[in-house]
Structure 1
């Protein structure tokens, strides 16, 4: 059997997909182009803390078909949709030309360039839970036993898929680049897609790249700027994240008892206690309301004015 990697492919001839998260609008009534999908179960969070908006994605496209994105963005804007700090932009690049032989080069590229890409795409700090880094142990697991499970991270469900997500190969035959912040701006979205296409084509060709963000973009012929800007999170949401981080160790054992091998997705205060959302190993969600113990808490430090 002939090798499929490395192989030189024109980046404009590689199919891509893009997941555009948004808040507001009226996704249930949005008129869609053929093949486009609105994921109504992928809600975001608006400024009041309520679930809002959705995620929209096209069928696999070629660069010459990118005008479809403009059409759908116009329709979203007409509905009053927008993006905030809870939204992201994920780009899928088709790996059909290289096949599974491309996975290991992509893992090696992640170990070399993931910080560079995160810097170039200006990933908001609070979004890194959705695009954690590939680690050496992931590469080792994959070499020992190539599989989807090998390239997924254990821990919270938000962190299963790395910023350079090769697990997508086993699902839909792509690699997913997850670093970009949310945007409904056509230029920002197309700049991001172009960079991802050019990057994957370069790795598929076996090229070595610089680890300087600006110089990498220049080497690839990609835009050096014009990517979705980071959006600061409101104080109340930052406090929610701190609360989750503080409570996870206290409820981790309970979560495992409630759902076998379950992983904590979310912790939220509700009127009668604390709501814990847990996912099982198949990704099925379960929700429970619990109450904190009356004793057994540990004092960390006293806060003085």
Structure 2
């Protein structure tokens, strides 16, 4: 039922905490917590590292669990870099599917302000693209999960305000926050997401200015995880991916119909491209001869990352 007033601190939430380093497989977990060992990040040297720590559904009164688990992560030597993000899921069961369209409307009105409040790193925007008017029109015509997703790359079907998560796990996922292992920063993000969702559920019109949005939500205007400088080699890798996309898109569709280029990077015997589709990542090493792309070999498949 929508609209309906629910106090922000009565909503349940979950957090996905990406990190590098540490010893993820050895971390002692509180009941219900999950270490997604297949969710690897990129360390400062370009190697796969770390993991993603996932909370169970928590009440605001349970937030000290975050402090306990973050302390354990830091004690292991886990740390944060530019490749890590922070995703918050807010349970929207009190409103159900009826909240999906209001969330889209709220995103169109204030997603830029929410993103600005969280100072989202420019390099992370590909993982949290904006909701569009076309998505709203599609959802009004046919209310379904697919209408709330968008094509792009990589994993850009998950918008910064991801209402499609209702169909996956009964939540809205807000993906704008930069990575952090600081409990105060993370709790500020969680509180902002809870307050934003409760305001949408109440049917409030939200402003388009970051400061005005924070004031309307009675949320902190600053103190969120700051962006971390990205090394030049990684920016060059992204430029390579962007430049390659038009050249390899036809081949990507032939190899994995409906797939999207997830990442590309040079390897010893060519250029490795990883394609997201079919429930995982399929990787191939290619060589670009003058008359077309040559497939050198297929790499063993790996599960997708949710950066």
Q: After superposition, what is the alpha-carbon deviation per residue over 1:74-113, rounded to whole angstroms, capped at 9, x for unaligned?
A: 0000001011000001000000000000000000000000
Q: Which residue of 1 aligns with 2:189?
A: 192
Q: Which residue of 2 aligns with 1:170?
A: 167
Q: Which residue of 2 aligns with 1:146?
A: 143
Query: 2: distance between equivalents of 1:185 and 1:279?
Result: 31
Q: Which residue of 1 aligns with 2:62?
A: 65
Query: 2: distance between equivalents of 1:155 and 1:47?
Result: 26
SS in 2 for 1:105: helix
Of the three residues 126, 133, 137, the one matched with 1:136 is: 133
CA contact (8 A) 2:154 2:263 kept: no
Q: Which moved further from structure 2: 207-216 or 59-68?
A: 207-216
Q: Which residue of 2 aligns with 1:54?
A: 51
Matched, 1:97 2:128: no
SS in 1 for 2:78: coil
The CA deviation at 1:125 is 0.4
Query: 2: distance between equivalents of 1:86 and 1:213?
Result: 25
Q: How does 1:211-226 map to 2 (within 5 A)?
A: 211-226=208-223
Query: 2: distance between equivalents of 1:185 and 1:168?
Result: 26
Q: Which residue of 2 aligns with 1:293?
A: 289
Query: 2: distance between equivalents of 1:210 and 1:155?
Result: 28
Query: 2: distance between equivalents of 1:122 and 1:292?
Result: 39
The CA deviation at 1:28 is 0.6
When normalised by structure 1's length, the TM-score is: 0.94
Q: How does 1:149-298 map to 2 (within 5 A)?
A: 149-280=146-277, 282-294=278-290
Q: Which moved further from structure 2: 178-187 or 282-291?
A: 282-291
Q: Structure 1, unaligned stretches of length 5 or more?
A: 298-305
The structure with the largest strand share of the pair is 2
Q: After superposition, what is the alpha-carbon deviation per residue over 1:118-151, rounded to whole angstroms, capped at 9, x for unaligned?
A: 1110000010000000000101111111111111
Structure 1 residue ranges (4+ consecutive) displaced by more than 6 angstroms after TM superposition: none
Query: 2: distance between equivalents of 1:72 and 1:123?
Result: 24
Paired residue total: 293
Q: Structure 2, unaligned stretches of length 5 or more?
A: 294-307
The CA deviation at 1:208 is 1.4
Q: Over the residues paired in the alignment, what is the CA RMSD in angstroms?
A: 1.2
